Chain A
Amino acid sequence: MSESAFVHHGRLGAVIRLSVVNALLNIVTLSLWRFWGKTRVRAYLWGHTTIWGEPLEYVGRGGELFIGFLLAMLVVFTPYMILVTVAQLMLVEQNPLGALLFALAQFSLFFLIGVGLYRARRYLMTRTVWRGLRAGQDGSALTYALLILGHIVLMGLTLGWSAPWMSVKIERYRLNHTRFGDTGFTCDATSGSLYKRYALVWFSFIPVVASMALLGLLTDYPDPDAMEPGEFFAKMALVYVWLFGSILVFTALPLAAYNAAYWRQIAAHTRFDGIGFSFELGAWRLVRLFVGNALITALSLGILRPVASMRTLRTACQCLSMESQPDLSRLFAGTQPIPRTGEGLVAALDGVGEF
């Protein structure tokens, strides 16, 4: 088949227009519009992505995200803030219980982000329709959050060496619980072949640490109490530019090579109804995508983030291919229940990982 399985047709002008209208509406509504704005962006991006010639359809609604956000604020965020405030007050009074409470709050934050990310992905899947069938995600958000937590703890214990193993494990969990209609994806990727590239990433941090130490020798650490605000900000800017510069120089390419290999490995071991995938992504392309997205987002003060999303989607579509078209007569709707509200936990906590 000459036709590519995945094609993104989104136009830059249309997405910029959407972004600007959303920014204006965010200002006028004191940001309440953002749930509906995000929904409009997704509807556009989904509608302009075709799989075997048929566009995706996004059927989520802004109101669902808004209610999900309110629920998360009420049930999770408010108790969390109370816990943190109490812990801080106790710390000020030098009560040792405060530190314990604080640790508990931090711990539960990581946990909640894990839960929120998984539930947000479930929402996104169930709102994605192709040829009249919804995608879906099973599995448990608690298990997923425990995996994330385990990932963080192991990273600390093994000085980062557990990262490829755990990342692939977590990816497998996600993909093995993802389905389209009632047909599940399967993924049996392993991390063994990724370790050579990961070692390069790991060792590339040594020159970064060395260059930060060099900066420490050259200049004082910025201290807001002992400097003019202008000097402090200039010094802080220098530290950040130096840090990101060092990371860019020493780590960016190894990291990109590792990440590209990671996605190639995941795709090569993923099947849908027996059909395989491949992901032709190179390191340099990943660097361009990432740096471009960071610049677009930062220079537009976050307003053009949808453009960054579109670039990501376009790159993914260009790189991803599927061996053959699935047999449509074998695909049926899933029978699992569909969440009624959007996932607000991630939006309430930090907004991490949102599309």
Chain B
Amino acid sequence: MRVLAGLYRDGKTAQDHPVEIRVLGHGLEIVAHDSQLVERWPLARIARDGDSIGAALRLRCADFPAARLVIADGQDLAALLPQRQTRPWLWAGLAAGAALVLGLTFWGLPHLASAAAHMVPIEAERAWGRAMAREIEDDHRACTRPDGMAALTVLQQKLALVLPEPQRPSRVVVVEHPMVNAVALPGGTIIVFDGLLRQADTADEVAGVLAHEMAHVAERHPLIAGIRSVGLAALVTLFTGDLSAVAATIGGMALAGNYSRQDESSADALAVEILHQAGISPQGLASFFAKLADQGGEIPQWLSTHPELDARRQAVEAATRGQAFAPALDASQWQALKDICPN
């Protein structure tokens, strides 16, 4: 029988009690200096504190939760205790599992989001879009000169008639704002900023951008993007355990940019199709991209969700087929559209 010297702590005082520890086949006997048996710890009930600094063996026993044993040189005793199995495959399995879950989630998210979007009633989507449109129109006046409105309607119908009825935009509005852009809102409202009309040199360019936004509407991208960004923020928060949302914002922005690039190229492809069928040259869209690329923009490319303008222009040009095109609007209609905003 081995006998070791140790310190016993009873959990009632902070003092150490020097004890003798008798190592038996089935457990440890803790004996005080007056040879009085203090406690008997069965081996199977003993756990070792593996987190503490220092070489001393620190033990506790499930039968006496408050008591502790400290044995200065009892390292060989550790071999007698219930062993924690080492599992070398655990690391590899864990990393593979994590990669799988991450991959499935981030690949699957766009599909999940679009499946969820199809379950949203169109009325709810329209109501959401109307609320957003109202906010924009509150801040920026809508342009409604009659001649311009008529030209806009002509252009809108030329393009929209190509699409099946439920995929058509519900409304196209021009608002006074210098930004060279147009946006599609959930529920099918398209907002064209006046800056776009001023910068465009031909009606074909405006038709190209409009077809691109119509493609977003037809594919319900605004709603899907909304659902996706909520899901994305929730997932990043979940995975990083960062509830302060710093990580969620950074990671979410990076991934949202990636997903929205996929949306953009898909909308470009559909826009080219719409333009072909409407008999309008996709060259307008391509030259508009070239124009944006020349301007360079105030935004660094890596932050923008519309990068790679050059690549997009080339894709549009490559998809253009040889067929006869007519101008999107005649000269007077085009002038009226450019002048849709008073002043």
Contact = CB atoms under 8 A, between A and B. Distances in A.
A144 B158 CA distance: 68
A46 B51 contact: yes
A87 B320 CA distance: 53
Contact of A302 (B49, B240, B306): B240
A234 B307 CA distance: 14
Contact of A50 (B53, B243, B244): B53
A243 to B, nearest CB: 15
B296 interface: no
Contacts of A233: 253, 303
B95 A225 contact: no
B53 A226 contact: no
B66 A333 contact: yes
B243 A131 contact: no
B105 to A, nearest CB: 9
Interface in B262-291: none
6 contacts: A24-B98, A226-B177, A231-B299, A301-B251, A302-B247, A328-B14
Interface of B: 9-16, 49, 51-54, 58, 66-68, 94-95, 97-98, 101-102, 132, 135-136, 139-140, 177, 179, 181, 193, 236, 238-244, 246-247, 250-251, 253, 257, 260, 297-300, 303-306
A50 B53 CA distance: 8
A350 B13 contact: no
B27 to A, nearest CB: 20
B130 to A, nearest CB: 13
Given A31-B238, A331-B13, 18 more contacts: A21-B94, A26-B240, A34-B241, A43-B51, A50-B53, A55-B53, A55-B54, A132-B11, A132-B12, A225-B132, A225-B136, A226-B177, A230-B303, A230-B304, A303-B241, A328-B14, A331-B15, A333-B13
Contact of B49 (A47, A305, A332, A350): A47
Nearest to B239: A27
Contacts of B139: 223, 225-226
B14 A132 contact: yes
A308 B83 CA distance: 32
B247 A230 contact: no
Interface of A: 9, 21, 23-28, 30-31, 34, 37, 43-44, 46-48, 50, 55, 57-58, 130-133, 181, 223, 225-231, 233-234, 237, 297-298, 301-303, 305, 326, 328-329, 331-333, 350-351
A216 B98 CA distance: 44
A149 B326 CA distance: 70
Contacts of A9: 53
Given A230-B304, A298-B250, A23 B240 contact: yes
Q: Which of B177, B243, B260 has the most CB atoms of chain A within a 10 A radius of its CB?
A: B243
A27 B247 contact: no
Contact of B305 (A226, A228, A350): A228
Contacts of A301: 236, 240, 242, 247, 250-251
A240 to B, nearest CB: 10
Nearest to B181: A228
A24 B95 CA distance: 6
Contacts of B257: 230
Nearest to B133: A225
A333 B66 CA distance: 10
A329 B14 CA distance: 7
A28 B98 contact: yes
Contacts of B239: 23, 26-27, 31
Contacts of B95: 24
Contacts of A28: 94, 97-98, 101
B256 to A, nearest CB: 8
A332 B300 contact: no
Contacts, number: 149
Nearest to A180: B14
Contacts of B305: 228-230
Contacts of A305: 241-242
Contact of A133 (B14, B16, B52, B247): B14
Contacts of B251: 301
A332 B14 CA distance: 6
A182 B58 CA distance: 24
Contacts of B132: 225
B52 A55 contact: yes
Contact of A181 (B14, B58, B67, B246): B14
Given A23-B240, A47-B53, A297 B9 contact: no
Contacts of B98: 23-24, 27-28
A158 B10 CA distance: 52
A226 B196 CA distance: 13
Contacts of B179: 226-228
A329 B16 CA distance: 9
B94 A25 contact: yes
Contact of A132 (B52, B68, B244, B297): B68
B299 A234 contact: yes
Q: Which of B14, B97, B239 has the most CB atoms of chain A within a 10 A radius of its CB?
A: B14
A326 B15 CA distance: 11
A130 to B, nearest CB: 8
B14 A131 contact: yes
Nearest to A56: B52
Given A132-B11, A228-B305, A58 B51 contact: yes
A331 B49 contact: no
A30 B177 CA distance: 44
A130 B68 CA distance: 11
Nearest to A53: B54
A47 B16 CA distance: 18
A44 B49 CA distance: 10
B12 A332 contact: yes
A94 to B, nearest CB: 14
B233 to A, nearest CB: 13
A228 B306 contact: yes
B244 to A, nearest CB: 7
B119 to A, nearest CB: 20
A56 B3 CA distance: 27
